[in-house]
Amino acid sequence: MRTGRTGTVAALAGALAFAAFTAPAAEAADTGITVSKMVVNSGRPIVVGTTEKKRPSVRFHVSWSAGHSLSDVDANPYLYHDTTARKGADHGGIYLGSMTCYEDGSRAADCTGDLYIEPRYTLDSNNDATTWKVGAAARVWGANGQPKSEEYLPALATAQVKRAARATVNASPEPVAKGKTLTVTGRLTRADWVKHSYTGYGGKAAKLQFRKAGTSTYTTVKIVKANSTGSLRTTVKAASDGYWRWTFGETATTGGATAAGDYVDVK
């Protein structure tokens, strides 16, 4: 591959990486390149916050027609959710970060690498929390260093991109007399890719869990639905020393979150 011969890595970043293999434009044509066994992030959802860069893994198998070698073909994966692979490439997506390919001696290679996500620049809408298609920009290069042919291979796989979430907890009063009322509050928030901050996850149900001191297992006490700003509030009877927390699982658009346990001493 132009982005790295056998056993070498070419590190690229974000849209700059994609620009490197989309310009200058070549006439669209069958390249004879085939991509298979595409897997992104080991098949798991990609959960993205507001500031932390993400480098989800990508691996695939690529083969090419006779007369070419690893050094003069490209197959650069990217994520898109436009109507076609070409439109997805042109109108914004999640692009290659780095890649290493190992030729297997039969006009084919196994490739591993990563994609690059910088939330502030890669994701500009909360609607980006959806199922993305995985495409690959395939290109054959000529001896003059110019592309001979290129094509955009569509829908090689799918990858789910989700908004990261957080949960907080506070149990009071601390300490509390045995049998008295304990008030447990908290807040659920999730990444807002438009505001570049965490905002309230309103209407989401969360489990209130308790772990008795000296044990290792949390037990669900009740389920409470957050208000419109993501705030949680409920009361329980204090029975023994231990830790309280809020937790909820992932949804189609949002990753799950669990608060660190808040210890309450019961007198």
Q: Beta strand 34-40 with 57-63: parallel, antiparallel or unpaired?
A: antiparallel
Distances (CA, A) of 197 to 13, 138, 193, 219, 258: 23, 36, 7, 31, 19
pLDDT value of position 1: 61
pLDDT value of position 29: 60
Question: Letter for the amino acid at 16?
Answer: L
pLDDT band at 85 (very low <50, low <70, confident <90, very high): confident
Instruction: Report residue 199 as tokens.
Output: 């905002």
Using alpha carbons, select from 106, 103, 110 the residue that is nearest to residue 58.
110
User: pLDDT tens digit string along 167-224?
Assistant: 999 999 999 999 999 999 999 999 999 999 999 999 999 999 999 999 999 999 999 9
Burial class (CB in 10 A: 0-12, 13-18, 19+), 257: buried
Going by C-beta distance under 8 Å and a sequence separation of 6 or more, which residues neighbour residue 217?
211
Using alpha carbons, select from 105, 124, 82 the residue that is nearest to residue 6.
105
Bigger pLDDT: 71 vs 48: 48
pLDDT value of position 88: 72
pLDDT value of position 8: 31
pLDDT value of position 32: 93
pLDDT value of position 25: 37
User: pLDDT tens digit string along 11-21?
Assistant: 333 333 333 33
User: pLDDT tens digit string along 31-47?
Assistant: 999 999 999 999 999 99
Confirm or reject CATH 3.40.50.720 for domain 165-264, answering yes or no: no
Note the maximum CA span of the chain.
82
pLDDT band at 57 (very low <50, low <70, confident <90, very high): very high
Instruction: Report residue 79 as tokens.
Output: 């994520």
Residue-range domain boundaries for the chain? 9-162, 165-264
pLDDT band at 143 (very low <50, low <70, confident <90, very high): confident
Mean pLDDT score, 40-60: 97
Statement: residue 245 has pLDDT above 80 = yes
pLDDT value of position 205: 98
pLDDT band at 227 (very low <50, low <70, confident <90, very high): very high
The CATH number fitting domain 9-162, selected from 2.60.40, 2.70.50, 2.120.10, 3.30.1330 = 2.70.50
